[in-house]
Amino acid sequence: MQPGATELLNGIKGIIFNTLMPELQTEQARQQALYSCILLDHLSARWEIEVPQLQEEHAELRALLIQAAAVTDDARVRDALDGAGEATTAPGALAAANERMRRLIPALSRELPAEHRAAVLELDAAIRAYIRNQHRLDQAVVQIGGLAW
C-alpha cells in the first residue's frame, strides 16, 4: 500500500526532526526547522478537509447559479453551469470549476433584474448566505493546526 499525502508529510517532518535538527548549528536555523514542521502540520490537517470543503462549495455554487438562471437571461450563468459539471474528487479540478462559478457572484449581485421581485429577493438572500458560508469556511481553514493568520 502506498502512503497517502498525510503520511508523506509526516515522513518529511520526521526527516526534519530526526536528521536535520541535530545538524543545525544556530538557534535561528533550529527555529526555522520547527516552524517548517508547524507548517507541515497545518498542511496535513488542511489536506484532510480540502476536498469536502471544495465539494460543499461546488454544490452551493451550482445551486446558486441554477437559482440565478431562473431569474436572469445571463449567458455567463448558463455557460458556467455547463462548464461546472458534476463534482469530482480531484482538488485541482474542483477548485478550477468553483473559481469559474465564483467569478460570477459579484456580477450577479450587482446586476439583479428588477422583474420577478420575489425570486430576485430569494436569489439575493442565497448570495448573501453563500458569502457568509465562505467566510465561515475561510475562518476554519486558517484555524487548522493552531495557526491563525
The ranges assigned to domains in the chain are: 5-146
Q: What is the pLDDT of residue 36?
A: 92
**Distance between CA atoms of residues 69 and 49, nearest Å:** 30
Q: What is the pLDDT of residue 4?
A: 82
The pLDDT confidence band at residue 85, using thresholds 50, 70 and 90, is low
Q: What is the pLDDT of residues 20-70, one digit of tens each?
A: 999 999 999 999 999 999 889 888 888 888 888 899 999 999 999 998 888
Q: What is the pLDDT of residues 90-140, one digit of tens each?
A: 888 888 888 988 888 888 877 777 776 788 888 888 889 999 988 888 887
Q: 3-class SS at 53?
A: helix
Q: For residue 33, is it left (φ>0), alpha (ψ between -120 and 50) or beta?
A: alpha
Q: Greater confidence, 90 or 10?
A: 10
For residue 86, is pLDDT > 80? no
Would you say the pTM of this structure is higher than 0.85? no
Q: Greater confidence, 69 or 88?
A: 69
